[in-house]
């Protein structure tokens, strides 16, 4: 088994935490060409846990070229890359994003490579549970509500009532772009963090009232479940978080357009990540939490039915595992086992 990263110190920390002499460490830049393919060819399966779309797609290209099955925890549907804020995602000259996605699919099929897309928390666990609900009954509407944050009392100690549980820059991207949803049978484009709603989470021994808003994490359902009249994915946060994000956006601090301040050129969002990011770390006594409440509405035998899938997961202080690490890592581990055992072999889609 091998683990890849750009920093030797980070790799050493992972090795010391795992405490295994069977772990090989590799220093590699995922954006480099050639070296990634050579390294992946030594392994049967690659799990991509990269922070942005550019590196995610580059790693996927390397897996396809090397003939290595792969699982990705970031990008939910490589076959249909989103065209908003591509984060440096590169396509071959003269090729559109859709054509590029199809070319990845075709190359994977030709090379006998299976790609399991978006198998973390959201996308991932959320997709699996929502899809199960869709299969169980004749569903006409589906809504995913998922989020990683921290305990409600601890949230009051942090700006935006939030802590960083994964790439903050990517979070801000998902707060800023246009999102496709299905509304009354039509695919329409809406603003991210629109459709705000408060809801009651009453399950897993908790009774709380968080808020949620639309974000772009599960676009594949628009293609794979065209019969749905209504579909959206919403991110869960504590009340007040999205009001804070709206204020930052109104002030232009989520913008990626370069500005010049006294001769220094920078992007406001980069400045925000650099200044606010350090204040969104866990403090002593904090524990992160991942929340999911997915709902499908449909009918069975002429009766209207509603099916819920909910989860509350907290960090494990004893073993030093955050809630986000658990729900993302365990889902990726389960998916990788399914790939290794050939459960997806022979499927119609290489990018599943």
The candidate with the shortest Cα–Cα distance to 60, out of 8, 113, 137, 3, is: 113
Residue 50, φ and ψ in degrees, nearest 5: -105, 155
Same domain for 181 and 278, yes or no, is: yes
User: Please, which residues have CB within 8 angstroms of residue 261's CB and are 6 or more apart in sequence?
Assistant: none
In contact, 50 and 60? CB cutoff 8 Å? no
Same domain for 103 and 137, yes or no, is: no
Predicted confidence (pLDDT) per residue in 298-348, tens digit? 988 888 989 899 999 998 877 778 899 999 999 999 999 999 888 775 443
Same domain for 198 and 245, yes or no, is: yes
The candidate with the shortest Cα–Cα distance to 102, out of 121, 79, 84, 85, is: 79
Same domain for 254 and 288, yes or no, is: yes
Q: What is the pLDDT of residue 53?
A: 85
State the residue range of the domain holding 235: 129-314
DSSP element (H, E) containing 123: none
Q: What is the pLDDT of residue 346?
A: 46
Handedness of CA 334, 337, 339, 343 (dihedral sign): negative
Interatomic CA distance for residues 224 and 233, integer angstroms: 15
Half-sphere exposure of 177 (CA within 13 A, CB side): 18
Interatomic CA distance for residues 68 and 218, integer angstroms: 25
Q: What is the pLDDT of residue 345?
A: 57
Same domain for 145 and 277, yes or no, is: yes
Half-sphere exposure of 134 (CA within 13 A, CB side): 21
Helix, strand, coil in percent for the chain, rounding step 5: 35, 30, 40
230: how many CB neighbours lie within 10 A of its CB? 16
Q: What is the pLDDT of residue 52?
A: 83
Same domain for 113 and 144, yes or no, is: no
210: CATH: 3.30.360.10
Write down which residue in 67, 93, 118 finishes a domain: 118
Same domain for 188 and 255, yes or no, is: yes
Q: Which residue has the tokens 């809406």?
A: 190
Same domain for 38 and 79, yes or no, is: yes
Q: What is the pLDDT of residue 348?
A: 37
Residue 329 lies in a domain: no
Residue 167 lies in a domain: yes
Residue 343 lies in a domain: no
Q: What is the pLDDT of residue 220?
A: 86
As given in the structure block, the two tokens for residue 193 are: 């963090």
Half-sphere exposure of 54 (CA within 13 A, CB side): 12
DSSP element (H, E) containing 197: strand 197-198
Same domain for 41 and 164, yes or no, is: no
Radius of gyration of the chain (CA): 20
Interatomic CA distance for residues 60 and 273, integer angstroms: 27
Residue 169 lies in a domain: yes
Same domain for 271 and 173, yes or no, is: yes
Q: What is the pLDDT of residue 216?
A: 87
Q: What is the pLDDT of residue 326?
A: 92
The candidate with the shortest Cα–Cα distance to 351, out of 163, 98, 173, 154, is: 98
Question: In Å, how far are 11, 23, 24 from 20, measured between CA atoms?
Answer: 13, 6, 9
As given in the structure block, the two tokens for residue 281 are: 């770390």
User: Please, which residues have CB within 8 angstroms of residue 299's CB and are 6 or more apart in sequence?
Assistant: 137, 138, 140, 305
Residue 77 lies in a domain: yes
Residue 263 lies in a domain: yes
Predicted confidence (pLDDT) per residue in 74-108, tens digit? 888 888 887 777 777 888 888 998 899 999 999 99
Residue 251 lies in a domain: yes
- pTM for the full predicted model: 0.87
The candidate with the shortest Cα–Cα distance to 142, out of 132, 152, 150, 151, is: 132
Q: What is the pLDDT of residue 158?
A: 92
Quote the DSSP letter at residue 313: E
Same domain for 111 and 161, yes or no, is: no
Same domain for 167 and 295, yes or no, is: yes
CA 154 and chain centroid, separation: 24
Domains identified in the chain, total number: 2
Residue 351 lies in a domain: no
Write down which residue in 67, 84, 118 finishes a domain: 118
Helices 323-340 + 125-136 axis angle, to 10: 70
As given in the structure block, the two tokens for residue 118 are: 């978006």
- Dihedral (Cα; 343, 344, 347, 352), 10-degree rounding: 150
Q: What is the pLDDT of residue 21?
A: 83
Write down which residue in 118, 141, 166 finishes a domain: 118
What residue ranges of the chain have pLDDT lower than 70?
345-352
């Amino acid at each position: 088994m091998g683990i890849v990263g750009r920093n030797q110190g980070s790799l050493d920390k992972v090795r010391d935490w795992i405490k295994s002499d069977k772990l090989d460490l590799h220093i590699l830049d995922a954006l480099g060409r050639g070296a990634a393919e050579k390294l992946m060819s030594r392994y049967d399966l690659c799990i991509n846990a990269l922070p942005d779309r550019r590196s995610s797609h580059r790693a996927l290209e390397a897996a396809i070229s090397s003939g290595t099955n792969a699982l990705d925890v970031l990008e939910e549907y490589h076959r249909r890359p989103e065209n908003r804020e591509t984060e440096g995602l590169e396509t071959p000259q003269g090729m559109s994003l859709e054509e590029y996605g199809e070319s990845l699919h075709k190359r994977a099929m030709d090379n006998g490579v299976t790609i399991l897309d978006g198998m973390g928390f959201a996308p991932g666990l959320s997709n699996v549970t929502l899809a199960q609900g869709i299969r169980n009954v004749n569903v006409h509407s589906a809504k995913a509500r998922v989020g990683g944050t921290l305990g409600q009392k601890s949230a009051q100690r942090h700006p935006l009532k939030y802590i960083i549980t994964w790439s903050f820059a990517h979070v801000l991207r998902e707060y800023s772009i246009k999102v496709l949803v299905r509304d009354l049978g039509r695919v329409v484009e809406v603003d991210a963090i629109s459709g705000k709603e408060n809801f009651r989470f009453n399950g897993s021994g908790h009774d709380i009232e968080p808020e949620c808003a639309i974000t772009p994490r599960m676009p594949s359902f628009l293609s794979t479940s065209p019969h749905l009249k209504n579909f959206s994915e919403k991110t869960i946060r504590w009340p007040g978080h999205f009001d804070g994000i709206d204020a930052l956006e109104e002030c232009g601090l989520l913008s990626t357009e370069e500005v010049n301040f006294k001769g220094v050129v920078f992007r406001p969002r980069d400045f925000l990540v650099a200044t606010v990011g350090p204040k969104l770390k866990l403090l002593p006594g904090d524990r992160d939490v991942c929340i999911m409440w997915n709902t499908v509405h449909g009918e069975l035998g002429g009766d209207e039915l509603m099916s819920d899938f909910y989860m509350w997961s907290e960090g494990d202080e004893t073993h030093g595992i955050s809630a986000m690490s658990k729900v993302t890592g365990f889902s990726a581990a389960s998916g990788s086992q399914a790939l290794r055992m050939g459960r997806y072999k022979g499927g119609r889609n290489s990018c599943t």
